[in-house]
Amino acid sequence: MIQKEKKVIIIVGPTASGKTHISLRLARQVKGEIVSADSRQIYKYMNIGTAKPSPEELQTVPHHCIDIKEPDEFFNAGRYGKLSRFIVSDILKRNKLPIVVGGSGLYIRALVDGIFEGEYRNTSIREKLKKELTQKGAHELYARLCQIDPLSAEKIHPHDTKRLIRALEVYELSGVPISKIQERFTKKGDFTPLFFGLYWPRKILYQRLEERVDAMMEVGFMAEVENLLSRGYSPELNSLDSLGYREIISFLKGKLAYSKMVEEIKKNTRRFAKRQLTWFRKESRIQWIDLSTYVDVQEVVDEIVKFSFRKDKWNSVSESV
């Protein structure tokens, strides 16, 4: 039944919400395969800081889009969209259920709705915009984007400088708003996405976030970053300009005290989780699950299974988020 309807379960949520444990239990129960939608888990050697499933967990259920790139290899949402669509199609052809799991909203959008990966790239324009960002601030560039491309401005957070610069780069190079280009060249995936969002009340989520950071430091996050640098990977790489990694690199350079580094990681993790929730709240297709109302993981899995295979239950969307 799943394969005829080409259903794809998509589990989203902020970092530390429990996506890994729930998706693993679900995959074992329905004979599914997991497709990671995490923009950092694609990189090798970045395990602790990206909260990858453990080697044992990776062996229990087939996983895709994990450890597929070196940290210095270029990868983006457009390429992820093409790769993940191919993988999802293959899983469905093998009579299995794809379970997409992650916190990268842009990657999930690329898979489900498509995203244009154009050739509108110009290094000099990009560097000019970065210089303007440093001199004038993100608010100046965001105000410009609001004028030339209000549709993109609605989707891009004012502090998401990478996407902000990208949108302005495309416009300056082509004279066409990136939202128009994306609309022209993108198309939806050939499957039915069933979205589930994992939600915790803020106080509980923040406690989970802080406990995760402490646990990461205890199991060797610092050594992981040192290993990456010892392999010759530049701290300037996009892959290492990531939550946790950048703060530890600052500590190793002597720019932060240890206690301040941990404090910064926790603070920035809370901000990151808030941005993730802001992104996902705009997705009306998500069925939100308040995890604080469930006794254990199995109850959550049973709920996902129930809503996935009973059409009469599908349109009920929680207002608790």
| Class of domain 2-115+187-313 (CATH, top level) | alpha beta
**Do the Cβ atoms of 196 and 286 come closer than 8 Å?**
yes
- What six digits make up the tokens of 30? 């329905």
Burial of 312 (0-12, 13-18, 19+ CB in 10 A): exposed
Q: Alpha-carbon distance 145 to 158, whole Å?
A: 10
**What single-letter amino acid sits at 172?**
E
From first to last of the 321 residues of the chain, give the pLDDT tens digit. Answer: 344 579 999 999 999 999 999 999 999 999 999 999 999 999 999 999 999 999 999 999 999 999 999 999 988 888 899 999 999 999 999 999 999 999 999 899 999 998 776 667 788 888 999 999 999 999 999 999 999 999 999 989 898 999 999 999 989 888 889 888 877 777 788 999 999 999 999 999 999 999 999 999 999 999 999 999 999 999 999 899 999 999 999 999 999 999 999 999 999 999 999 999 999 998 999 999 999 999 999 999 999 999 898 754 433 333 333
Q: Where are the chain's structural domains? A: 2-115+187-313, 123-185
Residue 312: the pLDDT is 45
* SS3 label, residue 6: coil
**Do the Cβ atoms of 15 and 38 come closer than 8 Å?**
no
DSSP letters spanning 47-65: -TTTTPPPHHHHHHS-EES
* CA trace torsion 233, 236, 240, 244 (10° rounding): 130
Residue 182: the pLDDT is 78
Residue 314: the pLDDT is 39
* SS3 label, residue 13: coil
Q: Alpha-carbon distance 160 to 173, whole Å?
A: 20
Burial of 320 (0-12, 13-18, 19+ CB in 10 A): exposed
192 forms beta bridges with: 7
For 75, phi then psi, to 5°, come to -155, 145
Closest CA to 227 of 247, 212, 248: 248
Residue 118: the pLDDT is 65
**What single-letter amino acid sits at 232?**
G
Residue 161: the pLDDT is 92
Residue 117: the pLDDT is 62
CATH architecture of 123-185: Orthogonal Bundle (1.10)
Residue 317: the pLDDT is 34
Order of strands across the sheet that contains 7-12: 63-64, 32-36, 97-102, 7-12, 192-199, 286-290
Residue 315: the pLDDT is 38
Closest CA to 22 of 310, 212, 270, 303: 303
**Count of residues for the chain?**
321
- What six digits make up the tokens of 114? 């498509």
**E strands along the chain, which residues?**
7-12, 32-36, 63-64, 97-102, 192-199, 286-290
DSSP letters spanning 193-251: EEEEEEE--HHHHHHHHHHHHHHHHHTTHHHHHHHHHHTT--TTSTTTSSTTHHHHHHH
Closest CA to 94 of 148, 156, 32: 32
The secondary structure of residue 69, as a DSSP letter, is B
